Amino acid sequence: MRALTTKGVLPFAPTLQSLSAAFQTVSLENGPVILQLMSLLLETAKSAEIRQSEALPRQTILAFPTDDIAGLALLLKHKAYVDYGGGLAVKHAASSGSLKILGLLLDFHPTSNTILDVCIVVASSKLRSHIQWRVFKLLIKANDGMPATNMSLLLQRAVSEHPKKTLLPQFLRSRKVEILFRTMETALQKASRDLFVVLSDDLPLVTIHQVFRKAMDFSIVSERRHWIYEVLLQRQITETDMSNALLHSLLDNPEDLSVQKLLLLHGANVNHKKCKAFSIALQAKSLNAVRLLGQYIDSDKTASRAFNHARHADLDIDSRIQVY
Protein backbone atom coordinates (compact mmCIF):
# COMPACT_ATOMS: atom_id res chain seq x y z
CA MET A 1 0.00 0.00 0.00
CA ARG A 2 2.89 2.30 0.77
CA ALA A 3 4.28 1.93 -2.76
CA LEU A 4 0.97 3.00 -4.20
CA THR A 5 0.37 5.93 -1.92
CA THR A 6 3.84 7.33 -2.30
CA LYS A 7 3.32 7.47 -6.04
CA GLY A 8 0.09 9.31 -5.55
CA VAL A 9 -2.12 6.56 -6.87
CA LEU A 10 -4.20 6.51 -3.68
CA PRO A 11 -4.70 8.76 -0.70
CA PHE A 12 -3.70 7.46 2.72
CA ALA A 13 -7.34 6.86 3.65
CA PRO A 14 -8.82 5.67 0.35
CA THR A 15 -12.55 5.58 -0.21
CA LEU A 16 -14.32 2.96 -2.30
CA GLN A 17 -14.68 5.63 -4.96
CA SER A 18 -10.94 6.26 -5.13
CA LEU A 19 -10.21 2.54 -5.00
CA SER A 20 -12.66 1.99 -7.84
CA ALA A 21 -11.03 4.69 -9.97
CA ALA A 22 -7.59 3.24 -9.31
CA PHE A 23 -8.75 -0.31 -10.04
CA GLN A 24 -10.35 0.75 -13.32
CA THR A 25 -7.06 2.29 -14.44
CA VAL A 26 -4.92 -0.62 -13.32
CA SER A 27 -7.19 -3.36 -14.70
CA LEU A 28 -6.79 -2.10 -18.25
CA GLU A 29 -3.11 -3.11 -18.18
CA ASN A 30 -1.50 -6.56 -18.27
CA GLY A 31 1.35 -8.32 -16.50
CA PRO A 32 2.30 -9.81 -13.12
CA VAL A 33 2.90 -6.42 -11.50
CA ILE A 34 -0.59 -5.37 -12.54
CA LEU A 35 -2.01 -8.46 -10.82
CA GLN A 36 -0.18 -7.49 -7.64
CA LEU A 37 -1.62 -4.00 -7.81
CA MET A 38 -5.11 -5.35 -8.45
CA SER A 39 -4.74 -7.71 -5.51
CA LEU A 40 -3.62 -4.90 -3.24
CA LEU A 41 -6.55 -2.70 -4.25
CA LEU A 42 -9.05 -5.51 -3.73
CA GLU A 43 -7.60 -6.38 -0.34
CA THR A 44 -7.73 -2.73 0.67
CA ALA A 45 -11.39 -2.65 -0.37
CA LYS A 46 -11.98 -5.87 1.58
CA SER A 47 -13.58 -7.39 -1.52
CA ALA A 48 -16.20 -4.66 -1.82
CA GLU A 49 -17.21 -3.92 -5.40
CA ILE A 50 -14.59 -1.66 -7.00
CA ARG A 51 -15.28 -2.67 -10.60
CA GLN A 52 -13.78 -6.15 -10.36
CA SER A 53 -17.02 -7.47 -11.86
CA GLU A 54 -16.58 -5.10 -14.79
CA ALA A 55 -13.03 -6.42 -15.28
CA LEU A 56 -14.10 -10.08 -15.24
CA PRO A 57 -14.93 -10.43 -18.98
CA ARG A 58 -11.57 -8.91 -19.98
CA GLN A 59 -9.62 -11.16 -17.63
CA THR A 60 -11.53 -14.12 -19.03
CA ILE A 61 -10.43 -13.25 -22.56
CA LEU A 62 -6.83 -12.68 -21.42
CA ALA A 63 -6.79 -16.19 -19.95
CA PHE A 64 -7.65 -17.94 -23.24
CA PRO A 65 -4.27 -18.34 -24.99
CA THR A 66 -2.55 -20.22 -22.17
CA ASP A 67 -5.39 -21.02 -19.75
CA ASP A 68 -3.57 -18.79 -17.24
CA ILE A 69 -6.36 -18.13 -14.78
CA ALA A 70 -4.43 -16.11 -12.20
CA GLY A 71 -6.19 -12.82 -12.96
CA LEU A 72 -9.55 -14.49 -13.27
CA ALA A 73 -9.13 -16.40 -10.01
CA LEU A 74 -8.09 -13.20 -8.24
CA LEU A 75 -11.25 -11.38 -9.28
CA LEU A 76 -13.47 -14.30 -8.36
CA LYS A 77 -11.76 -14.65 -4.99
CA HIS A 78 -12.73 -11.04 -4.33
CA LYS A 79 -16.40 -11.55 -5.20
CA ALA A 80 -16.49 -10.51 -8.85
CA TYR A 81 -20.05 -11.05 -10.03
CA VAL A 82 -20.12 -13.83 -12.64
CA ASP A 83 -23.48 -12.63 -13.95
CA TYR A 84 -22.13 -9.17 -14.76
CA GLY A 85 -23.26 -7.97 -18.18
CA GLY A 86 -25.65 -10.86 -18.57
CA GLY A 87 -22.92 -13.37 -17.75
CA LEU A 88 -20.54 -11.95 -20.35
CA ALA A 89 -17.49 -13.70 -18.90
CA VAL A 90 -19.29 -17.05 -18.92
CA LYS A 91 -20.39 -16.45 -22.52
CA HIS A 92 -16.79 -15.68 -23.54
CA ALA A 93 -15.48 -18.81 -21.85
CA ALA A 94 -18.17 -21.09 -23.26
CA SER A 95 -17.99 -19.78 -26.82
CA SER A 96 -14.19 -20.12 -26.77
CA GLY A 97 -14.48 -23.79 -25.85
CA SER A 98 -12.15 -23.40 -22.85
CA LEU A 99 -13.50 -26.02 -20.47
CA LYS A 100 -11.02 -25.13 -17.71
CA ILE A 101 -11.99 -21.46 -17.64
CA LEU A 102 -15.68 -22.24 -18.03
CA GLY A 103 -15.51 -24.73 -15.17
CA LEU A 104 -13.90 -22.14 -12.92
CA LEU A 105 -16.61 -19.58 -13.64
CA LEU A 106 -19.38 -22.13 -13.15
CA ASP A 107 -17.98 -22.92 -9.70
CA PHE A 108 -19.20 -19.46 -8.70
CA HIS A 109 -22.82 -20.30 -9.48
CA PRO A 110 -24.12 -18.09 -12.28
CA THR A 111 -27.89 -17.72 -12.32
CA SER A 112 -30.11 -20.07 -14.27
CA ASN A 113 -30.91 -17.24 -16.69
CA THR A 114 -27.21 -16.76 -17.42
CA ILE A 115 -26.74 -20.47 -18.06
CA LEU A 116 -29.73 -20.56 -20.41
CA ASP A 117 -28.40 -17.53 -22.29
CA VAL A 118 -24.93 -19.05 -22.55
CA CYS A 119 -26.33 -22.29 -23.98
CA ILE A 120 -28.05 -20.29 -26.70
CA VAL A 121 -24.83 -18.40 -27.47
CA VAL A 122 -22.87 -21.65 -27.76
CA ALA A 123 -25.53 -23.16 -30.02
CA SER A 124 -24.75 -20.53 -32.66
CA SER A 125 -20.97 -20.55 -32.14
CA LYS A 126 -18.40 -21.90 -34.58
CA LEU A 127 -17.09 -24.48 -32.12
CA ARG A 128 -16.72 -28.01 -33.41
CA SER A 129 -19.64 -30.25 -32.59
CA HIS A 130 -17.82 -32.43 -30.06
CA ILE A 131 -16.56 -29.34 -28.18
CA GLN A 132 -20.05 -27.82 -28.16
CA TRP A 133 -21.39 -31.07 -26.74
CA ARG A 134 -18.84 -31.00 -23.88
CA VAL A 135 -19.63 -27.35 -23.17
CA PHE A 136 -23.35 -28.14 -23.03
CA LYS A 137 -22.64 -30.95 -20.56
CA LEU A 138 -20.76 -28.57 -18.26
CA LEU A 139 -23.49 -25.95 -18.46
CA ILE A 140 -26.32 -28.39 -17.82
CA LYS A 141 -24.54 -29.87 -14.79
CA ALA A 142 -23.79 -26.47 -13.22
CA ASN A 143 -25.45 -25.57 -9.92
CA ASP A 144 -26.32 -29.22 -9.18
CA GLY A 145 -27.98 -29.69 -12.55
CA MET A 146 -30.46 -27.78 -14.67
CA PRO A 147 -34.08 -28.49 -13.68
CA ALA A 148 -36.19 -30.36 -16.22
CA THR A 149 -38.49 -27.38 -16.66
CA ASN A 150 -35.55 -25.16 -17.58
CA MET A 151 -34.28 -27.69 -20.10
CA SER A 152 -37.69 -27.70 -21.78
CA LEU A 153 -37.60 -23.90 -21.89
CA LEU A 154 -34.07 -24.03 -23.29
CA LEU A 155 -35.24 -26.31 -26.08
CA GLN A 156 -38.07 -23.90 -26.83
CA ARG A 157 -35.59 -21.02 -27.10
CA ALA A 158 -33.18 -23.04 -29.24
CA VAL A 159 -35.92 -23.80 -31.77
CA SER A 160 -37.17 -20.22 -31.80
CA GLU A 161 -33.81 -18.43 -31.94
CA HIS A 162 -31.74 -20.88 -34.00
CA PRO A 163 -34.26 -22.84 -36.12
CA LYS A 164 -31.56 -24.26 -38.41
CA LYS A 165 -29.25 -25.52 -35.65
CA THR A 166 -29.70 -29.11 -34.51
CA LEU A 167 -26.91 -29.85 -32.02
CA LEU A 168 -28.38 -28.29 -28.86
CA PRO A 169 -31.82 -29.86 -29.51
CA GLN A 170 -30.08 -33.21 -30.13
CA PHE A 171 -28.17 -32.84 -26.87
CA LEU A 172 -31.34 -32.03 -24.94
CA ARG A 173 -33.27 -34.87 -26.59
CA SER A 174 -30.47 -37.25 -25.57
CA ARG A 175 -31.30 -36.29 -21.99
CA LYS A 176 -35.00 -37.12 -22.49
CA VAL A 177 -36.11 -33.51 -22.21
CA GLU A 178 -39.86 -33.04 -22.43
CA ILE A 179 -40.85 -31.14 -25.56
CA LEU A 180 -43.48 -28.51 -24.86
CA PHE A 181 -46.30 -28.38 -27.38
CA ARG A 182 -45.58 -24.72 -28.03
CA THR A 183 -42.07 -25.80 -29.05
CA MET A 184 -43.59 -27.94 -31.77
CA GLU A 185 -45.86 -25.06 -32.78
CA THR A 186 -42.75 -22.94 -33.23
CA ALA A 187 -41.07 -25.75 -35.14
CA LEU A 188 -43.99 -25.97 -37.56
CA GLN A 189 -43.44 -22.35 -38.51
CA LYS A 190 -39.67 -21.92 -38.26
CA ALA A 191 -37.62 -25.12 -37.94
CA SER A 192 -35.53 -26.56 -40.73
CA ARG A 193 -36.44 -30.04 -41.90
CA ASP A 194 -33.44 -31.55 -40.10
CA LEU A 195 -34.43 -29.88 -36.83
CA PHE A 196 -38.07 -30.89 -37.27
CA VAL A 197 -36.97 -34.52 -37.67
CA VAL A 198 -34.90 -34.31 -34.46
CA LEU A 199 -37.87 -32.92 -32.55
CA SER A 200 -40.52 -35.27 -33.90
CA ASP A 201 -38.47 -38.44 -33.52
CA ASP A 202 -39.84 -40.56 -30.67
CA LEU A 203 -42.57 -38.06 -29.81
CA PRO A 204 -45.60 -39.78 -28.27
CA LEU A 205 -48.11 -40.71 -30.94
CA VAL A 206 -50.81 -38.57 -29.37
CA THR A 207 -48.51 -35.55 -29.68
CA ILE A 208 -47.72 -36.39 -33.30
CA HIS A 209 -51.46 -36.37 -34.02
CA GLN A 210 -51.83 -33.00 -32.29
CA VAL A 211 -48.93 -31.54 -34.26
CA PHE A 212 -50.34 -32.88 -37.54
CA ARG A 213 -53.70 -31.26 -36.82
CA LYS A 214 -52.03 -28.04 -35.69
CA ALA A 215 -50.20 -27.74 -39.00
CA MET A 216 -53.53 -26.94 -40.62
CA ASP A 217 -53.91 -23.84 -38.44
CA PHE A 218 -50.83 -22.13 -39.84
CA SER A 219 -50.30 -20.39 -43.14
CA ILE A 220 -47.36 -22.37 -44.51
CA VAL A 221 -45.95 -22.36 -48.04
CA SER A 222 -46.73 -25.51 -49.97
CA GLU A 223 -43.19 -26.87 -50.14
CA ARG A 224 -42.79 -26.57 -46.38
CA ARG A 225 -46.20 -28.11 -45.68
CA HIS A 226 -45.28 -31.01 -47.95
CA TRP A 227 -42.15 -31.98 -46.03
CA ILE A 228 -43.82 -31.40 -42.64
CA TYR A 229 -46.57 -33.84 -43.60
CA GLU A 230 -43.98 -36.18 -45.11
CA VAL A 231 -42.10 -36.36 -41.79
CA LEU A 232 -45.25 -36.78 -39.69
CA LEU A 233 -46.80 -39.35 -42.03
CA GLN A 234 -43.96 -41.72 -41.20
CA ARG A 235 -45.89 -42.25 -37.98
CA GLN A 236 -49.42 -43.65 -37.65
CA ILE A 237 -51.59 -40.69 -38.64
CA THR A 238 -55.29 -41.53 -38.61
CA GLU A 239 -57.31 -41.68 -41.80
CA THR A 240 -59.62 -38.99 -40.44
CA ASP A 241 -56.75 -36.58 -39.82
CA MET A 242 -55.26 -37.23 -43.26
CA SER A 243 -58.66 -36.77 -44.90
CA ASN A 244 -59.24 -33.49 -43.06
CA ALA A 245 -55.78 -32.35 -44.15
CA LEU A 246 -56.75 -33.18 -47.73
CA LEU A 247 -59.80 -30.94 -47.47
CA HIS A 248 -57.68 -28.19 -45.95
CA SER A 249 -55.14 -28.44 -48.77
CA LEU A 250 -57.87 -28.25 -51.42
CA LEU A 251 -59.36 -25.18 -49.77
CA ASP A 252 -55.95 -23.56 -49.37
CA ASN A 253 -54.59 -24.18 -52.88
CA PRO A 254 -56.53 -26.60 -55.08
CA GLU A 255 -54.02 -26.36 -57.93
CA ASP A 256 -51.06 -27.46 -55.82
CA LEU A 257 -51.38 -31.21 -56.16
CA SER A 258 -48.16 -32.25 -54.38
CA VAL A 259 -49.58 -32.14 -50.85
CA GLN A 260 -52.89 -33.66 -51.93
CA LYS A 261 -51.15 -36.53 -53.71
CA LEU A 262 -48.94 -37.18 -50.67
CA LEU A 263 -51.98 -37.41 -48.39
CA LEU A 264 -53.86 -39.65 -50.80
CA LEU A 265 -50.87 -41.97 -51.15
CA HIS A 266 -50.79 -42.38 -47.37
CA GLY A 267 -54.48 -43.16 -47.02
CA ALA A 268 -56.57 -39.97 -47.09
CA ASN A 269 -60.10 -40.98 -48.08
CA VAL A 270 -61.84 -39.10 -50.91
CA ASN A 271 -65.17 -40.36 -49.52
CA HIS A 272 -64.59 -38.42 -46.27
CA LYS A 273 -67.53 -36.19 -45.32
CA LYS A 274 -69.62 -37.42 -48.25
CA CYS A 275 -66.94 -36.73 -50.85
CA LYS A 276 -66.45 -33.14 -49.76
CA ALA A 277 -63.04 -33.14 -51.47
CA PHE A 278 -64.79 -33.37 -54.86
CA SER A 279 -67.16 -30.59 -53.88
CA ILE A 280 -64.27 -28.28 -52.98
CA ALA A 281 -62.31 -29.09 -56.14
CA LEU A 282 -65.37 -28.55 -58.34
CA GLN A 283 -66.25 -25.25 -56.68
CA ALA A 284 -62.68 -24.11 -57.32
CA LYS A 285 -63.02 -25.34 -60.93
CA SER A 286 -59.77 -27.25 -60.50
CA LEU A 287 -59.97 -30.01 -63.08
CA ASN A 288 -56.48 -31.21 -62.14
CA ALA A 289 -57.58 -31.77 -58.55
CA VAL A 290 -60.75 -33.53 -59.72
CA ARG A 291 -58.67 -35.85 -61.92
CA LEU A 292 -56.34 -36.65 -59.03
CA LEU A 293 -59.21 -37.36 -56.65
CA GLY A 294 -60.90 -39.51 -59.28
CA GLN A 295 -57.93 -41.88 -59.26
CA TYR A 296 -58.77 -42.77 -55.65
CA ILE A 297 -62.45 -43.63 -56.08
CA ASP A 298 -62.69 -47.17 -54.76
CA SER A 299 -66.41 -47.93 -54.69
CA ASP A 300 -69.63 -47.36 -56.60
CA LYS A 301 -70.96 -45.39 -53.63
CA THR A 302 -68.05 -42.96 -53.79
CA ALA A 303 -68.36 -42.67 -57.56
CA SER A 304 -72.06 -41.90 -57.24
CA ARG A 305 -71.44 -39.17 -54.65
CA ALA A 306 -68.66 -37.62 -56.71
CA PHE A 307 -70.86 -37.64 -59.83
CA ASN A 308 -73.69 -36.02 -57.88
CA HIS A 309 -71.35 -33.19 -56.80
CA ALA A 310 -70.31 -32.73 -60.44
CA ARG A 311 -73.92 -32.67 -61.60
CA HIS A 312 -74.69 -29.72 -59.30
CA ALA A 313 -71.42 -27.85 -59.89
CA ASP A 314 -71.34 -24.55 -61.75
CA LEU A 315 -69.20 -25.64 -64.71
CA ASP A 316 -69.05 -24.65 -68.36
CA ILE A 317 -69.84 -27.33 -70.92
CA ASP A 318 -66.24 -28.21 -71.77
CA SER A 319 -65.26 -28.55 -68.11
CA ARG A 320 -68.34 -30.61 -67.35
CA ILE A 321 -67.56 -33.00 -70.18
CA GLN A 322 -64.00 -33.44 -68.91
CA VAL A 323 -65.25 -34.08 -65.37
CA TYR A 324 -67.77 -36.66 -66.53
Give the pLDDT band (50/70/90) at residue 304: confident
What pLDDT is stored for residue 65 in this prediction? Answer: 84
Quick: pLDDT tens for 57-77.
999 999 988 888 999 999 999
Whole-model pTM: value is 0.87
Give me the residue spans of the domains in the chain: 1-50
Quick: pLDDT tens for 72-115.
999 999 999 999 999 999 999 999 999 999 999 999 999 999 99
Please say if the pLDDT value at position 41 is more than 80. yes
Q: Is 85 left (phi over 0), alpha (psi -120 to 50) or beta?
A: left
Q: What count of other Cβ atoms lies within 10 Å of the Cβ of residue 124?
A: 14
What pLDDT is stored for residue 257 in this prediction? Answer: 94
d(CA 280, CA 181): 31
d(CA 317, CA 83): 75
d(CA 148, CA 151): 5
Please say if the pLDDT value at position 12 is more than 80. no
